[in-house]
Amino acid sequence: MNKNIPMKKLIISIANENHYCYATEICEVISDSAKIRGTGIAKRTPEYIATKMKNKNAVIALYNGKFAGFCYIEVWSHGKYVAHSGLTVHPDFRNKGLAKKIKEFTFKYSLKKYPRAKVFGITTGLAVMKINSDLGYKPVTFSELTRDSKFWKGCKTCANYNILVKKDYNMCLCTGMLYNPESKEKKKEKWFDKKVLKRLKKVKQTMLYQLCIGDFKIKWY
């Protein structure tokens, strides 16, 4: 693929039934990306992705009919929360800022379709944290996220699920982030610091190692 792909030719739109043909490839790219990063991921089937497309709860990016990127929306706690999942970019289109464009498109679409819902996410990726921060998300404890059991059951296929269970669904290697549309704060707080987030990731990786050799106590300051 040409490295000088003009971004203006990349079309980002709300996915529908006409995009079912990309479902299998989307699942493969999501899975491969997680393996490369060495992070856990909640696996999804092509049928699940197709359902999201049918319900107009997915966003897709195409370049001359070729799959370039994807993200889908999940609704929890009877519409009180929505989450963006499966954000991925095909290897041929990475390092061009496409992930951020897809995330921004999905975020704005979510606010329009679910105006009263809090938008949240859990992630291990620093790049996703930075994007979320720019959109107004803030890091929060898992207790501030949806308590819908179906959401947490979706983590069962993640390699780090045992950590989540051992910590009683209150902590894992992922970082919880939340955007509250009803917040009275008019100015976005620029909290993101790449060095701090890298340190947090290292701490959580240490936790994973400790959990593999036995339970331990940890203090949070």
DSSP conformation letters of 86-153: EEEE-GGG-SSSHHHHHHHHHHHHHHHHSTTSEEEEEE--HHHHHHHHHHT-EEE-GGGS---HHHHH
Place of tokens 């008019």: 186
User: What token pair was written down for 115?
Assistant: 């105006």
Q: What percent of the chain has pLDDT over 70?
A: 77
Is the pLDDT higher at 82 or at 4? 82
Is the pLDDT higher at 108 or at 163? 108
pLDDT at 174: 87
What pTM was estimated for this model as a whole? 0.78
CB-count exposure of residue 46 (10 Å: 0-12, 13-18, 19+): middle
pLDDT at 218: 38
Assess whether pLDDT exceeds 50 at residue 217.
Answer: no
Cross-strand pairs, 75: 82
In 10 A of CB 21, how many CB atoms?
11
Do you know the residue count of the chain? 221
Banded model confidence at residue 173, pLDDT cuts 50, 70, 90 = confident
Q: Return the SS3 of 191.
A: coil
- How many Cα atoms are found within 13 Å in the side-chain-facing hemisphere of 3? 1
- Alpha-carbon distance 64 to 51, whole Å? 24
Assess whether pLDDT exceeds 50 at residue 221.
Answer: no
- Alpha-carbon distance 22 to 7, whole Å? 20
Q: DSSP secondary-structure letter at 62?
A: E
